[in-house]
Amino acid sequence: MRSPPDTSEFDTPSRILMGPGPSMIAPRVLRAMSTQALGYMDPAFLEIMDDIQELLRYTFQTDNEWTLATSGTGTAAMETAIGNLIEPGDTMLVPTNGYFGDRMGKIARRAGGDVVTVDAPWGEPLQPADVAAAFDEHQPDVFGFIHAETSTGVRQPNVSEMTDIAHDHDALVLADCVTSLSGVELRLDEWGIDAAYGSPQKCLSCTPGATPLTMNDRAREKVLNRETDTGSWYLDLDLVMEYWGDERNYHHTAPTTNFYGLREALRLVAEEGLENRWERHREVAGELREGLQRLGLDPAAEKEYWLPSLNTIEVPDGVDDTAVIEFLMQEYDIEIASGLGDLEGDVWRIGCMGYSARRQNVACLLTAMEDALEAQNFDVGETPIEA
């Protein structure tokens, strides 16, 4: 007979989370998630779902009827959106300027789509002229772009210009808002975005497991008029929306506790006000960016398309990026992350999201970073910051 495993209690370390996600969970969200479970068809739980939908419409700045929380992580929401919008033989246009545009393409191929690309260097946004040229050449059915590229720290400007191009070619626009939702300006309806998804564990400061997703009427009609079933029954929005819509037909067991947390996180957004929240992220991340520059560290993203919620910082010559990350964790209980994909080893990724986007966290990180750099004999001095 096997002996019983170790049943000692796990003592969760206390960390300051300043990486690319998760962010620190807001205390009110933790309290909401500690309450007793409800049945997934309980009238009280259905009211929570109604609240989530209305709060998400505010956070996305949309009137979309099809607005919900998918049962899964941000990648599950990405797969839900692409898997429902793309049928075998459809063409999807995706960007090459970051890690998550590449992931969009991988998921579209698995859905049976033909994938074409619009190119831009890693660390730079897409240019509308290049998007227009890609549409003229390929005539895609769906255009996907990353509003806030977590691998490069770049925010995509000129969104309305790109959506106009897509709509002129009768294509749908899908936006990845995983690292932008509630952290930087995002106006779905005004900008002409047809479908979008976010993430709970980034700027919303919740736990992964219930992920925001929304589609307008144009996207919904594409889903409802498919000639083939989606490849995933679990992620089939036509079926899932029978649970989220007026019919309230059971589809799958909802992650009830995650929904409690998401509702509370969205309530915090509404109480703070979106524009105030966007400004807080700009101000606090701006102090982080300037403080790091004073230490002699250069931002990787230009200020005109810098992403406040995720800051990429160039690793100086002679500095071991991994050693700095380990120093911050071991000596200060602060988490940041290394580069991803093409930028691995070249940048640090420092998040400034949601409940983590507070001045005391920035002050701690700057002190810790100075010590970490000095431990590697990097000359930390007062360096002029960019204009």
pLDDT, tens digit (0-9, with 9 covering 90-100), for 137-153: 999 999 999 999 999 99
Q: Which two tokens stand for residue 231?
A: 């490849």
Fold assignment, 27-271: Aspartate Aminotransferase; domain 2 (3.40.640)
Report pLDDT digits (tens) over 195-254: 999 999 999 999 999 999 999 999 999 999 999 999 999 999 999 999 999 999 999 999
Which helix H or strand E contains 175, and what residues bound it?
A: strand 172-176
By CB atoms closer than 10 A (0-12, 13-18, 19+), residue 185 is middle
CA atoms within 13 A on the CB side of 21: 24
Residue 6: the pLDDT is 87
Q: Which two tokens stand for residue 98?
A: 């970051």
Are the C-beta atoms of 156 and 148 separated by less than 8 Å? yes
Instruction: Name the class of domain 273-374.
Output: alpha beta
Q: How far apart are CA 329 and CA 333, in angstroms?
A: 4
Whether the CA torsion 138, 144, 146, 150 is positive or negative: it is negative
148-149 and 154-155: which strand pairing?
antiparallel
Are the C-beta atoms of 45 and 179 separated by less than 8 Å? no
Q: In the chain, where are the structural domains located?
A: 27-271, 273-374
Cis peptide leading into 22, omega within 30 of 0?
yes
Q: How far apart are CA 34 and CA 31, in angstroms?
A: 5
One digit per residue, pLDDT tens: the chain, 387 residues?
Answer: 999 998 888 888 999 999 999 999 999 999 999 999 999 999 999 999 999 999 999 999 999 999 999 999 999 999 999 999 999 999 999 999 999 999 999 999 999 999 999 999 999 999 999 999 999 999 999 999 999 999 999 999 999 999 999 999 999 999 999 999 999 999 999 999 999 999 999 999 999 999 999 999 999 999 999 999 999 999 999 999 999 999 999 999 999 999 999 999 999 999 999 999 999 999 999 999 999 999 999 999 999 999 999 999 999 999 999 999 999 999 999 999 999 999 999 999 999 999 999 999 999 999 999 999 999 999 997 655 554
Q: How far apart are CA 262 and CA 264, in angstroms?
A: 5
